[in-house]
Amino acid sequence: MIQDHIMFTGINILLAWSVYVILLSGSVSFANGAFMAIGGYASGVVTTKFGLPLFVGIPIAALGTAAFGMIIGLPALRTRGIYLILVTTGIAFCVKNAIESIPYVGGVRGMRGLVGAEPWHVWVLVAIVGLLLWLLSRTPLQRILDATREDELVARAMGINTVYVKVIAFGSGAALAAIAGGLYAHYMYVINPEHFGILVSVFVVLYVILGGTNNMWGAPLGATVMTLVPESIRGLHEWRPIVFGVVIIVLLLVRPEGLLPFRAPSARVRDARDG
Amino acid sequence: MADPVMRFEGVSKRFGGIQALSRLSFDILPGEILGIIGPNGAGKSVMINVASGLYEADEGRVIQHRRDITKLGTHQRGRAGIARTFQNIRLFRRMTVLENVLVADKRHICHPFGSLLSFGRRGAEVAAALAELDHMRLADKADQLAGTLPYGDARRLEIARALAGNPSVLFLDEPAAGMNERETEDLLADIRACRGRVEAIVVVEHDMALLRVLSDRLVAMNYGQLIAEGAPAAVLANPEVVRAYLGTPDA
């Protein structure tokens, strides 16, 4: 039981960061549950149908999902705001329906025999992704992403190819969600399309909003709170979803910019002195 | 005469039933500060938007150093050295003053993912950005959020950010709007100080006193057309320009 909590908290942190990476360039994605599904199924095919090990299956799934994300991102990212939410939600529905209609991966009954993922795998990846995001936050690329997110038109006028930046960010987020999906699938033993419904995508976005969209620590905090709070109030039985909903609403009312609203600058004056 | 830095050749732009630019032609010459005047709706900002690629010209050509850039996208114009400010100041408000200047570094803009490997240069880049801010008397506010700057500082930061990309041509869209007399005088000195940094500066402005002393040449526009061009005193005395601003006696 505790092992499950450790595993799912780590997976949810990776998923939250997958949304955060896309959000860095100013786009919001409600398709990350679908990217998670593609990652889970693709790595499952690699391990169960081709007999390759998990550490081969997950990178293949990540690369394939990144390519898929970038291909659909190219037209989808021409939209913004509510329209992008609708487009990405549509992608989530399409992917789920597509998987349900593919007998090769088990259709609605799902895929079985997926094994090999351990909680420590997830947490090593959490540490690696966290380190990469922290390093990113100290580079000029972070500023280019920030500028694209803040005012895309001005960023373009300055010479930033905002389409390219946004598509790469979208693909990276898709890859990260696919990695989370692959680990999830190989921990669960059996997966079916219902595991990756639209609610998964909605919850992952909520993790980031609850934790705070302005810095990399908000996403893991939101994911941890939203993974562990429902478990800690399990004793409330049928009242549990209602209490959980009220907790989220109160948190967002009290901290509308998330639990960690600050933004860490990518450079400070002291950097000039530090060299 | 030297080759122009930029040339508008019969550029037209229409929005529905409104002809915003109508066969507009003029040159931007090397080393000059070119003032653009015209009443509201004359098409001045549309001209800047066409120059910077935010709008595509319906007809005509935009030339930069003999290169036809008419079909280049907005980001390609930025990379080609066309920098601009906006009539309504558009800073990256949630980024610091320093970050607003740092982000304009062309090396990173042209190779955003290559910038992941630029750890070693960070100190030098910050020092260069601070020097840029120092020119605009903003160095002491480097770590402040851009959105918290007072109006005059925000205007100067927008210019500093535009200059940080080492542009060839700098378009300033009503830089003195909303400034008091003292701030306008400071701005005048700041723009003059920029002269050696770029090949040409184009200033769209309603403040005639500012343009009279700042500009080497003036272009006057009305209804998207060029109505006068030449030395500031001559253009400001041109009857058609006077009529465009004040109307006809029987109007």
Q: What is the pLDDT of residues A207-227, one digit of tens each?
A: 999 999 989 999 999 999 989
- Whether chain B has a CB inside 8 Å of the CB on A136: the answer is yes
Q: Which of B75, B119, B130 sits opposite A156 (nearest CB)?
A: B75
Task: Give the residue on B whose Cα is nearest the Cα of A149.
Answer: B92
Task: Give the residue on B whose Cα is nearest the Cα of A161.
Answer: B75
* Chain B nearest CA to A133, separation (Å): 11
* Chain A nearest CA to B165, separation (Å): 8
What are A32's two structure tokens?
């990350």
Task: Tokens 């601003």: give the residue.
Answer: B245
Q: Which residues contact B103 (CB under 8 A, 6 or more apart)?
A: A140, A143, A144, A146, A147, A158, B92, B95, B109, B161
- Whether chain B has a CB inside 8 Å of the CB on A165: the answer is yes
- Whether chain A has a CB inside 8 Å of the CB on B77: the answer is yes
- List strand residue ranges (DSSP E) for chain B, in order: 6-15, 18-28, 33-37, 59-64, 67-68, 82-84, 169-173, 200-204, 217-222, 225-230
In Å, what is the CA distance from B152 to each residue of B35, B158, B180? 21, 10, 9
> Residues A35, A177: contact at Cβ < 8 Å?
yes
A157·B104 Cβ contact <8 A: no
The pairing of strands B6-15 and B200-204 is: unpaired
φ/ψ of A27, rounded to 5, equals -100, 150
Positions of chain A with pLDDT lower than 50, given as ranges: none
* Chain B nearest CA to A29, separation (Å): 22
Q: How confident is the model at residue B251 (pLDDT cuts 50, 70, 90)?
A: very low
Q: Answer yes or no: is pLDDT of B250 > 60.
A: no
Q: What percent of chain B has pLDDT over 90?
A: 82
Q: Which of B78, B92, B130 sits opposite A159 (nearest CB)?
A: B78
φ/ψ of A216, rounded to 5, equals -70, -15
Q: Which of A156, A263, A265 sits opposite B78 (nearest CB)?
A: A156
pLDDT of residue A274: 62
- Whether chain B has a CB inside 8 Å of the CB on A146: the answer is yes
A157·B84 Cβ contact <8 A: yes
B99·A266 Cβ contact <8 A: yes
Q: What is the pLDDT of residues A128-163, one digit of tens each?
A: 999 999 999 989 999 999 999 999 999 999 999 999
pLDDT of residue B185: 92
This prediction has a pTM of: 0.92
> Residues B95, B103: contact at Cβ < 8 Å?
yes
Q: What is the pLDDT of residues B214-241, one digit of tens each?
A: 999 999 999 999 999 999 999 999 999 9
The helix or strand, by DSSP H or E, that contains position A10, with its residue range, turns out to be helix A2-23
Q: Per-domain residue ranges for chain A? A: 2-197
